[in-house]
Amino acid sequence: MVRFMRTFGVLVLALSVTLAPVAPAFGQSPQQQGQNPPQNAGPTQGQPPSPPQPKKTSDQGSDEYLKGNRAFPDLLGPYKPIHIAAPSFANTSRLQGLIHDGKLMISMQDAIALALENSIDIDVVRYNPWIANSQILAAEAGNGNLSFDPRLTLTGSVNHQNSPVSNPFTTGVGAGIASFTSHAVSGNINYTQGFETGTSLTITQNNQRSSNSATASTFNPQIVSSLNVAVTQQLLNGFGLLPNMRFIRIARNVQKGQDLGFQLQVITTVTAVQIDYWNLVFAIQNVGVNQQSVDLAQTLRDSAKKQVEIGTMAPLDVTSAEAALASAQTGLVAAQTTRRQQEVVLIAAITRDPVAATQLNFEVVPTDTTYIPDQVENIPLDQAVREALSNRPDYKQSLVNLDSDDITVRADRNALLPNLSVTGQYGWTSLAGVQLNRGTVVPGSFIADLSSPIVNAAGVPTGTFTSSPLVTPPATPTTSTGLGDALRQVFTNQFPGYFAGFNFSIPIRNRAAQGASIQAQLVQRQDQTKLQQQQNAIAVAVRGAQIQLEQARASLASATKARELQQASLDAENKKLLLGASTLILVTQTQTLLSSAAGQEVNARVALVQAKVNFDNVMGRTLQVNNIQVADAGKSSAPAFSKDTLIPGTHADGSIITDNPMK
């Protein structure tokens, strides 16, 4: 019988461990098992080849970081780490597809697309929303006081003791017994879970089988089974959704802030690559201006030599012409050096590995020239500031931080309250085993003469003990029941019991909670002041960008007019020189002024475009005017979302979202 019960207990314990729910079942991941990512359809006619799409694996989306591994169908999934792929530092194939005859023919659209694909800065910031998702996952498990994740605890033990008997009366083994043997086997199940309302639930189911060598036991062996359900509710400190979901809400705000931070990085990258692109355009055009100056100086020098040969000009004039040519050549070398430097800067902005890109040995040729932006700077300041505040991710981040401050202030205000909790418990117990019938004479036992005292006043035993004769037990000396009977008693409510109580705790002086509450309010007030500071700075930046755009437009108009006048002056001086009414020195000086005016006009054109880029950046229009869409990682877990997870700044297949037609 004992051996059978031991085996049965072990089997029940093993079966409980195997079949018990080990974690709550998560919703299915948007990615279905065995689903292949969409393949690249290849380039269409007239368009540059698209980059190869990265393989869609479980570590490409943010949904896994927000939900973790599923418990179904893999029960061990929640206990396995999620594989995170190593970052790739190779340049995308778009770069090589734009190289033709040793020249990188690149438009502004191509430059932005390459920057979004290859920017290391974007790659670094791209991890922040994913990290925030993992923080939400951790926060949803509960806080320090309550665990929202259910916990199932299985315990089992075997305890066998053989002890000497010092007092047969208190032990209950009977006189003449030198040792007492006990054996116990237990198997218990405990389930605990906390809830957002400040409620905790505990369900405990205990089972124990014990036997001993005491002859006075009513049940030997005996099986005790019990089931208890206890609910505890916080009524002051820790009551309600806010204090218990505080860290979840703050973690969600952190994720919103990281999404906005990702947008801010995209805006910063796009703005920077536009500035670099136009700087290269200026450098190339400046090379053209200096080359034109060299050509004019060389033509003038050759003309002077011919006139010296025929005797119509002094040799000193040739020296002046050669000095002007040397000066123009020096300017050309400096312009060519600046162009090469700007090429390096642009290549670094549009590649992950600029060293590998440089090894392709190409010349960067921008295909977009400067243009005259539309007049957008005449917006009223108050309207422009409102638009900037509604668009700029950095300002939205400040609003999200203020929301987190408000959550912290209210939660810390609740933490000032004393602790008051009520507990209600209801339980069921049972008893089963081998029950000895009353009045049955057990062979070999000792019977006391109850008509005389057992001990005297001094505590010395005086009773008479006689050994009972060997009596044949009756046909049914015991009643035998098992674990099934004990559980039936539990679930049929034969032996119920309940408990109710409360716990009230008042922290004297409460300085820790007061300090936390004061700090939370001070941080909130400080962030409110910072928000006003940021609003003022944005207003100043918007007005400054308007002025810069106005000034750049006016500078271009004056530079164009100055270049036209200098061109007319040079033409006039050349005519005078042919008629003998001017000198070579005056022509050289006028030519130098024309070169300077042409360079200033090129610079003014590029400065106007860059002022427009800066204006779009200050107004928060960069993504809109360049038609760039940034996916919101915070919505990747929405029920109505597509089955394909979107990463910030990417398509469902993992490629960068960008569509930037230059108009």
| pLDDT higher than 50, residue 584 | yes
What are the φ/ψ torsions at residue 528 (nearest 5 degrees)? -65, -40
Query: Domain check: are 480 and 576 in the same one?
Result: no
Query: Would you place residue 56 in the very low, low, confident or very high pLDDT band (cuts 50, 70, 90)?
Result: very low
Whether omega before 473 lies within 30 degrees of 0, making that bond cis, reads: no
Give CA angle at 626 (56, 92), nearest 5°.
Answer: 40
| pLDDT higher than 70, residue 477 | no
Instruction: Identify the residue whose tokens are 């987190």.
Output: 404
Tally the domains of the chain: 2
- 346 and 111 in contact (C-beta within 8 Å)? yes
Residue ending a domain, among 457, 485, 505, is 505
Q: Let me know if residue 288 belongs to a domain.
A: yes
Query: Domain check: are 501 and 585 in the same one?
Result: no
| pLDDT higher than 60, residue 41 | no
Residue ending a domain, among 505, 523, 545, is 505
Query: Domain check: are 184 and 271 in the same one?
Result: no
Query: Would you place residue 30 in the very low, low, confident or very high pLDDT band (cuts 50, 70, 90)?
Result: very low
Distance between CA atoms of 377 and 621, rounded to whole angstroms?
Answer: 13
Query: Domain check: are 387 and 527 in the same one?
Result: yes
**What would the mean pLDDT of 487-492 be, rounded to a whole number?**
86
| pLDDT higher than 90, residue 578 | no
Task: Supply 376's token pair.
Answer: 């957008």
Give residue-wise pLDDT tens across range 527-566. 999 999 999 999 999 999 999 999 999 999 999 999 999 9
Q: Please give the order of strands across the beta sheet that includes 99-100.
A: 99-100, 103-106, 363-366
Query: Domain check: are 170 and 312 in the same one?
Result: no
Cα dihedral: 336, 337, 342, 343 (round 10) = 70
Q: What percent of the chain has pLDDT over 90?
A: 47
Query: Would you place residue 376 in the very low, low, confident or very high pLDDT band (cuts 50, 70, 90)?
Result: confident
Query: Would you place residue 51 in the very low, low, confident or very high pLDDT band (cuts 50, 70, 90)?
Result: very low
Query: Domain check: are 296 and 349 in the same one?
Result: yes
Query: Would you place residue 436 in the very low, low, confident or very high pLDDT band (cuts 50, 70, 90)?
Result: low
**What would the mean pLDDT of 329-346 be, rounded to a whole number?**
93
**What would the mean pLDDT of 416-437 be, rounded to a whole number?**
89
Lowest mean pLDDT among 273-282, 362-371, 629-638: 629-638
Q: Let me know if residue 67 belongs to a domain.
A: no
| pLDDT higher than 70, residue 522 | yes
Q: Let me know if residue 22 belongs to a domain.
A: no
SS (H, E, C) 227-278: EEEEEEEECCCCCCHHHHCHHHHHHHHHHHHHHHHHHHHHHHHHHHHHHHHH
Task: Supply 248's token pair.
Answer: 């979840």
Q: What is the pTM of this model?
A: 0.75
- 317 and 583 in contact (C-beta within 8 Å)? yes
Distance between CA atoms of 223 and 483, rounded to whole angstroms?
Answer: 7
Distance between CA atoms of 181 and 219, rounded to whole angstroms?
Answer: 15
Query: Domain check: are 289 and 360 in the same one?
Result: yes
Q: How far is CA 321 from CA 304, 311, 329, 451, 579, in A?
A: 7, 16, 12, 148, 19
Query: Would you place residue 28 in the very low, low, confident or very high pLDDT band (cuts 50, 70, 90)?
Result: very low
**CATH number, residue 373:** 1.20.1600.10
Q: Domain limits at 565?
A: 246-413+515-627
Q: Which of 177-186, 307-316, 459-468 has the highest mean pLDDT?
A: 177-186
Task: Supply 461's token pair.
Answer: 């035993």
Query: Would you place residue 459 in the very low, low, confident or very high pLDDT band (cuts 50, 70, 90)?
Result: low
Query: Would you place residue 246 in the very low, low, confident or very high pLDDT band (cuts 50, 70, 90)?
Result: very high
Give residue-wise pLDDT tens across range 141-175. 988 789 999 999 999 999 998 877 666 555 555 55
Burial of 105 (0-12, 13-18, 19+ CB in 10 A): middle
Burial of 211 (0-12, 13-18, 19+ CB in 10 A): buried
User: What local confidence, expressed as pLDDT, does residue 581 receive?
Assistant: 78
Query: Domain check: are 255 and 392 in the same one?
Result: yes
**What would the mean pLDDT of 177-199 be, rounded to a whole number?**
89
Query: Domain check: are 285 and 392 in the same one?
Result: yes
Query: Would you place residue 632 in the very low, low, confident or very high pLDDT band (cuts 50, 70, 90)?
Result: low
Q: Let me know if residue 597 belongs to a domain.
A: yes
Q: Let me know if residue 567 belongs to a domain.
A: yes
Query: Domain check: are 158 and 265 in the same one?
Result: no
Q: Is the dihedral of CA 161, 167, 168, 170 positive or negative?
A: negative
Q: Let me know if residue 98 belongs to a domain.
A: no
Query: Domain check: are 533 and 611 in the same one?
Result: yes
Number of helices (H) and strands (E), helices first, in the chain? Answer: 16, 12
Residue-by-residue DSSP string for 488-525 = HHHHTTSSEEEEEEEEEE--SS-HHHHHHHHHHHHHHH
Burial of 515 (0-12, 13-18, 19+ CB in 10 A): exposed
Q: Let me know if residue 524 belongs to a domain.
A: yes
Q: Mean pLDDT in the chain?
A: 79
Query: Domain check: are 160 and 286 in the same one?
Result: no
Distance between CA atoms of 353 and 96, rounded to whole angstroms?
Answer: 13
Beta strand 363-366 pairing with 99-100: unpaired
Q: Let me know if residue 610 belongs to a domain.
A: yes
